[in-house]
Amino acid sequence: MSDIEQIPVTVTVNGKKVQRFVEPRTLLIHFLREELNLTGPHIGCETSHCGACTIEMDGMSVKSCTMFAAQANGAELTTIEGMANPDGTLSALQEGFRQMHGLQCGYCTPGMITRAHTLLKENPNPTEEEIRMGIAGNLCRCTGYQNIVKAIQYAADQLNQPETQEAAE
């Protein structure tokens, strides 16, 4: 047992406030997966390259493998587990990935969707280039990105239709 004191970390994850006592060196990805049992965010490269661990923190996309849980203290976090619509149906992005075949093995998908979620909040009507630059921090080794771009375009189109806007919010 280490003699380093455990510290409290309080975060709101997918709308629910939680507190755990952890070692200061606990990375946010381990906090989510091991303390909170949220295994949607994946551990891919562990070197800040691949983006499989991407979550949303206070409106920013962050790589949770390159942050200490302590740095997120007080923050609002959204993981892939918080992406579906409140009634449990798939969000426009999730539906887009399904309709457009935006995934094959699925390993990068939680990071891709959470990243795209923040991207569309900042830029609801992105060009193809803006989408490609916007997901530059997320690697996919299956799809060649083509269908991921289409999935995000599908979601943008859905969210930009006035009648569906309410449902998406």
Interface positions with another protein (CB under 8 A): 2, 4-5, 7, 23-25, 27, 30, 46-49, 51, 54, 60-63, 66-68, 70-71, 73, 115, 119, 133-137
The answer to whether residues 14 and 84 touch, using CB atoms and an 8 Å cutoff, is no
Question: Shortest approach of another protein to residue 100 CB, angstroms?
Answer: 21
- In angstroms, give the least distance from the CB of 98 to another protein: 24
Name the residue among 88, 82, 92, 44 with its Cα closest to residue 66.
44
Rank residues 99 and 153 by Cβ distance to another protein and give the closer one. 153
Start-to-end CA distance of the chain, whole Å, equals: 46
CB of 93 to another protein, least distance (A): 16
Cβ closest to another protein, residue 16 vs residue 133: 133
CA dist list (Å): 125 to 25, 121, 149, 155, 159: 39, 9, 13, 10, 9
144 CB neighbour count, 10 Å cutoff: 10
Q: Report the residue number, 19 or 166, with the smaller CB distance to another protein.
A: 19
Q: Which is nearer to another protein, 128 or 164 (CB)?
A: 128
Q: Where are the beta strands (DSSP E) in 40-155?
A: 54-57, 60-63, 76-78
Shortest approach of another protein to residue 35 CB, angstroms?
14
**DSSP string for residues in 68-88:** BGGGGTT-EEE-GGG-S-TTS
Nearest distance from C-beta of residue 167 to another protein, angstroms: 27
Cβ nearer to another protein, comparing 70 with 84 = 70
